[in-house]
Amino acid sequence: MTTLAAPTHLRENPFRIAQDQLDRVAEAFAIDQNLVNVLRQCKKAVVVSIPVVMDDGLIRTFDGYRVTHNIARGPSKGGIRYHPDVTLDEVKSLAMWMTWKCALMNIPFGGAKGGVVCDPKRLSQAELQKMTRRYTSEIINEIGPEKDIPAPDVGTDPAVMAWIFDTYSMNKGHSVLGVVTGKPLNVGGSLGRLEATSRGALYCIREALRKQSRPMADTAFAIQGFGNVGSFLAKFLAEEGARVVAVSDSRGGVYDANGLDVSAVLAHKQETGSLEGLRGVDSVTNEELLLVDCDVLAPCALEQVITSDNADRIKAKIICEGANGPTTPAADDILEDRGVLVLPDILANAGGVVVSYFEWVQGLQEYFWKENEVNARLNDIMTRAFNETWHTYEQRGTSMRLSAYGIAVQRVAEATMTRGLYP
């Protein structure tokens, strides 16, 4: 029997960053310190061991987590991440950010997150399914449609959600559609959910450019991360007439100052599983992509890629955070001093949780919407949240991040005050 240990790519403790962000918001918006003391901590963190019989007959154990940050505004909601660098503090920070994200979107959820320390790319489909089902069994008392609703995140997809849904339902004795979101369409998923995070980011970018009286056409974009979020964002931007000059996946990226043929890039990625080997373009590393000449940079991969080491060399004038926590606080200060407009994660990538909310509602009602209805309602919520954040940004003369977090934290604080502390 072997146990996997997790390396870490994180330069700074992400939960401490999340707590520091909360402290800055509390000071700027004069939030009662007693409430801050409650909101700085996660309500619950569960650590589980996941033994799995591998294809070669050996038993390997994986560490798994499920964290609930806050439920003042409703049941907790948050993705499950499969990645070799997952840590408990990372999951706690992501759970806290999810609380603020749901509050900023004004949907009735609190924040949660889950993770398993593994490399899903190195697991067979059978191993992945067995690990997922055992992980679900270990956290089964923590999740439920009125309690805590998981969803996909880095390294997980609709197939993983289907296994969680089935495992939970088998234990309950009947199908429970609302236990997870991001499911395949044929088992209660929602139209538009797969592309929702990218579509929400597109709506935010569109509004930001409109505020600056800039056209989408020929605006140059660089996208770090070419998974679900980055690939769909590139596709949508190309359809809008934007010029996507660089994209990258975990192995590296491609660059063309005149604009990439996004359809060809998508086809190559689909055929080979990588961006490597694409002809007629220049190769760039993930680090180099962040510094290419572009108008808008969209980090859509992992946390802490924009730091004090590279923030002063970023050429983009707008950063759209498709990933959670891609910018460190020190980098934030540098970017703000340089006049770079940062569309923060809890705003820019909230499209996924908004349509997850739609899927949850549809599952509870067992009545499903048309895709144009889903996208129209997503547009309404994202645009409203953007404009509320922009209004605070202009009114207070502060950053978009502080404005977004300020709105969100105040809503959660007000809900906490209204409910009171038990007992």
Backbone angles phi, psi at 351, to 5 degrees: -60, -35
Cis amide prior to 152 (ω within 30 degrees) = no
Taking the C-alpha atoms of residue 132 and residue 168, their distance in angstroms, rounded to an integer, is 11
Query: Residue 286 and residue 3: Cα distance in Å, rounded?
Result: 30
- 306 beta partners: 327
| Candidate list 77, 101, 113, 269, residue with the active-site label | 113
**Euclidean distance between CA atoms 228 and 156, whole angstroms:** 10
User: Do residues 181 and 151 make contact, with C-beta atoms less than 8 angstroms apart?
Assistant: yes
Q: Which residues pair with 78 in a beta bridge?
A: 150
Residues linked to residue 248 through DSSP beta bridges, in sequence order: 224, 253
Residues 6+ positions from 296 with CB-CB distance below 8 Å: 205, 219, 220, 221, 222, 316, 317, 318, 319, 320
63 neighbors 49 (Cβ within 8 angstroms): yes
CA-angle at 229, arms to 224 and 235, nearest 5°: 85
What is the C-alpha to C-alpha distance for residues 216 and 234, in angstroms, rounded to an integer? 13
Concerning whether 183 is annotated as a catalytic residue, the answer is no
What are the structure tokens assigned to 125, written together? Answer: 């489909």
Backbone angles phi, psi at 10, to 5 degrees: -80, 125
H/E element, 135: helix 125-138
* 318, 244 Cβ separation under 8 angstroms: no
Give the span between the Cα atoms of 211 and 218, in whole angstroms.
Answer: 17
Residue with tokens 């590279």: 310
Instruction: Spell out the SS3 assignment of 331-367.
Output: HHHHHHHCCCEEECHHHHCCHHHHHHHHHHHHHHHCC
Q: Which residues are catalytic?
A: 113
